Structure 1
Amino acid sequence: DRANALAAEIARIEARIAGSRMDEAADARLRKLEEAVIATRATLDAGAASLSVSLQPGAAITLDGAPLESGTQISLTRDARIDIPGVGTLAFRPPAGSDASLARHRAASDDLAAFLAAVGHADPAAAHAAARARAQDETALAALRSRLEAECPADPALGLPAGLDALRGALAGRDRPEPLALDAPQPPAEIDLRPFRTAEIEATARRQAALDSLQKAEVRGVELQGASDRAEGDRLRLAQELAADLAPLPDADLEARQAAARADEARALVDRETAGRAAKALDVEALHQQRERMVKKRERLQADLPNLAGEVARLEEQARTLGGEGPGQRAEAAREEAEAAEAAHARLKDEGDALALLLGVLREAQQDAARRYLRPITRRMEPFVRRLLPNASLAFTEDYKPGLLMRGGREEAAELLSKGTQEQLAVLTRIAFADLLIDKGKPASLVLDDALVFSDDDRFEVMTDILADAARRMQVIILSCRASAYRTVDATRLPLG
């Protein structure tokens, strides 16, 4: 009965998930569309004029036929007409470039509306709510499936495999037993651990889902905070520059300079977005290859400069000899080509230097990230290495492999160590990674297949002690054809074959 109820609930949740289009990818797409609308709105507002309405009692004006109340703040991003009864009409036209910003904002808004229509939601809030509901349904579905699995275990004594279908087949054609009489002797009570195991599995699934959601929220919060800080810094800098430029100017010039500054700010925002997208698409290897091509091109241009200078001298001599018959014009053209080549050389040199600087910064960032992620592994490896090799320490490479072993004031490359030492360090590295996963709340098992075949007796004894200690924190499975070597290890032995 419990299994059937769980199966029905699973079917209902699966139907809800199948009917929802707001999966994780759709939610990420919606956030990008919202960010695009916000960015284009910010660009549009940066180039828009701000209208503050302050009216005397009893006065009335209209904007495109709609009345304006005192205290209203409006950003004018399109052509508008302000009617003042008894006075006249004020026509407003936004500065140049605002049409393009308005078109981009409308395109971003249309994309967002089309997406919402495709997923069947009226607004972004409802779509996000649907995405959260689907994520909750997926978490609940995983928990229910675990509970169903616990309710329908295999029973070797009855020859019954696991699963609801097998249980239904076993009970097909059987009558439901009558309930026990109150005065009948009751069987000894047994503790049914299945509800507790089910609750444990469900709690683990919910905890993992919560951790994943928290991690995504933290990453998203860092990204938004960084974007907010950068936007605020740009705004303050532009405001300071604008105030410094406009302070000594008369009112008419102030308005012109203010309009130009807002237009520059809008273009800067667009350029920043373009640069951000370009930076995300940067490929370090492609930049390196492009820099090498530019260096070779610069070298070819430098090699061509002497030939061009000689050609110029020859043409100048011909011009002096032939007079005004045409070589003078060719000499002037050759001189212009030489100047253009020098300018191209200077430009390519600047581009090469900029790419070299960018490549260096990217490599430093990559190395810093590698050091930051390797630090927890190195810290966990240190006691294992000192226990196996007294007064020794191990350094890792950027791809998380053992790199150098330092002992006795000497450095030894890991690939030059003996086979026994290499396999021992490999086992210790796996234990360190498993400990790291345990600290992150993700228990791991350690499986070794005859991993210590090259170890001498002393090292083998130390390694088995380390593995015994690790077995207190994690599951350790050792596959070996040498049963006698592990005879002293306190473990469960399962013969195979």
Structure 2
Amino acid sequence: MKLQRLRVEQFRQFRQGLELDSLQPGINLIHGPNESGKSTLVRAIRAAFFDRYRSKSAEELAPWGDSSAAPTVELIFEHGGKHWQLDKRFLKRHRCDLKVDDETFSGEEAEEKLAELLGYQFPKKGASKEEHWGIPGLLWVEQGTGQNIENAVLHAGGHLKSALNNLVGEVASSGGDEIIQAVEQQRKELLTSTGKPRGDYLELANTREALQLQVRDLKSRVEQYKAQVDRLGTLAAEHEQANRERPWEEARREMQLAEAKYREVEALQEQQARGIESQKQIQQNLSLLQQSQIHWRNQNEQLELRHQNYLKAKQQLEKEELASPELVKQVEAARSQYQLANQTVQQAHLRDKRERLEKDCARLKADLAQLKQRQEEAKGIQVSLDSARNTRKINLIDIGALRELKKNQRELDDANIRIQTVATRVTWNLKPGASLDLDGQSVEGQGEKLLLEQGVLAIPGVGDLGIQPGGNDLASLRRQLERLGQTVSQQLAELAVESVEAAELKLTRLQDAEAQIQRFDDLLKSLAPKGVDQLGSDRSEIESELLARTTELEALPQVEATGGDAKPLSQAEAELKQAEARLTEAETGQRNQEGLLHKARYVSETAMREWQRMQGELNSPERQSQIEGIARDIATAEKQNTELEASLKDRETLIREARPELLKQDIVRYRATAEHQEAAQQKRALELSEIRARLEAWGAEGLEEKHNELVAELEHVNRRYLELDRRAKALDLLLNLLIEKRQALTRRLQAPLQKHLDHYLTVLFPEASLEVDENLMPGKFSRGSELGQMAELSFGAREQMGLISRLAYADLLQEAGRPTLIILDDTLVHSDTGRLDGMKRILFDAATRHQILLFTCHPEKWRDLGVEPRDLEALKIQSVSG
């Protein structure tokens, strides 16, 4: 089967229609973004074959919100050397027409013809579902369903087996079917299809299991009862012993003793902390006294150092005083050079400003002359533009009304022509002096008249002659002529013209005026982009600016004549910068020298004062007394520090031997012990009460008697269960043996399908195999050491195996002479790059035998498929423009 053309109209999003023609026998790659209509085209093909043309469920095929739509699908395909054409319309004016070469089928006959051809069936009522789709449901893959093949094979199984029987003949004998069915029926009474118990077998199994649970539960409760009795005796003895010994009280006494010892250690720790603090203060005082003693010793050395500093500062002052006069001379020379360079720059600025003003005046005069010329031209064009606008205003006419007038005038002319053809024409040629009376009017000589109504011709001396015009449509033509005449007259009056020619002339003048307006408007915009008034404003601004520049130029002072050696402004400014730099450098040097001089003077005076002050202090009697007092304080502090150090060591020894950290742990340990002992005694008391209550309740239930009764009942049920269990297993074994024998025959039936399946599978997995069961369903998959069911593979692998299986079914159907068409809607989207390349080889190979419609929103993944892609968006644009 080769699909050649598909057209849809008023079908979901395709309101205006879309045509997909020139389809190739091999792969047809149709691509487009999401919501572009790919799945809609697939749905249209399904609707053409699967949906009854009278079905009420076809309402979902209509465009959204369009209740008057009639969804239409047209298909042209070739099969068996014949040309098939299917036209199917739903909802409004529904119909179904099928043409096979010269044969024609309509309605349900056409639908059944298609179902018989492709191998599917229609539902008895309601919408078509998956179980009705047969072979097309297997080969036409909807978006996102490529991995689900089991139901499709199940619904197409009968057609597949029929195709296999045509290939290899009926190999499976039906002689053993009755035995298998009988064994299977007996097995069904005891087991489900999966081997689970059912009926009496299941009921006995459930009863047996329930009794076993009850027996185990009662046995456990009996054992618990005995264990509780033993626990009661042990627990009562432990509780009595604890009441006698009361171990928690001993633990609390030990805790109190540990707390008393710890408080003694804490007192020693506080004394030790105070002693350490006193030692720190003594050591700090001793350190300060020693530093003071060292300070007094170092002062003699500092006195000599300060005398040397004074002599160096005095020498530096004398040096700086000698350098100052020379720097003053350098500053005065640099200042003279700077003033001269500054005057040169001022003269250069004045010359440049005069030249710039002269150039501005010349430019403004030229701009003013040009602006005056543009202003004059613009005024002339404005006059012409106003005239053209006036002409347009006079000749304004409604083009639509003119078009309607011309149409009505043509109809009026046509009506006149028709009425002259149909009307009765009366002609006369009378002798001189003779006359007749026609409808009350006297006629003489020669003439003619068209009679549209009944007329009377009076012949003097003879009588009256009645004339009745013939033709059935004469009256309607006359009314049409009158109506058109009134319409044309009314339209001429509305357009204020005398005739159609005058209206056309008026339109021509209007168009000429609009062209002139456009041309003059463009010329005016080129001369005055901002308007004629703006030109006047620009002229006033230029005149004002010219006057200002001229006044400024005349106010400038005259530049002194310098001959031909006048320096340019740039050179003068460069020399001024150099002179300014030299002046700045000289002034900076002078300021630095002054700073150094002031600094040297200050340092010299300060050094002298410091030397003289320290010399006086060192020779004073108070200094000698302070030195002796510091020596006495140091001796006293050293003695106190030695005594306190010995006291601290003795106290530290006492604290360390007492182990305060262990005393704290003993307090915590004894407190926890007392609490745990009391809690354990309370728990034992509570448990004793619970055990006594539980034993009283269990003793009233009679556990051992119930246990014995249930054991007897379980033995009876177990004997009956074992009988049915042996029968079920025997029937299951017998059925499996019969099925294995039958499968040996069925394998010959599966061989052709397995051949095609292996052909594709080895392209993707060279050493893999995929087996099919007796229902031709792909099942066990093996590759090397891997073994499992196809349903256990990853999503992408199941999608690949599903497509490979469908192609194998297509080869089988084609070999049996059945029609095939493969439709893939966005398939293989979960395949990695390597697997996708292998699947492309498989598709290209299958396309040599089958037609494939491949719809995708990822055309870049299929560019190496060897076929020209068809852009669905481009097809939609072509359909709209066509």
TM-score normalised by length of structure 2: 0.21
Q: Relative CO higher for 1 or 2, CA cutoff 8 Å, sep ≥ 6?
A: 2
TM-score normalised by length of structure 1: 0.35
Pair member with larger Rg = 2
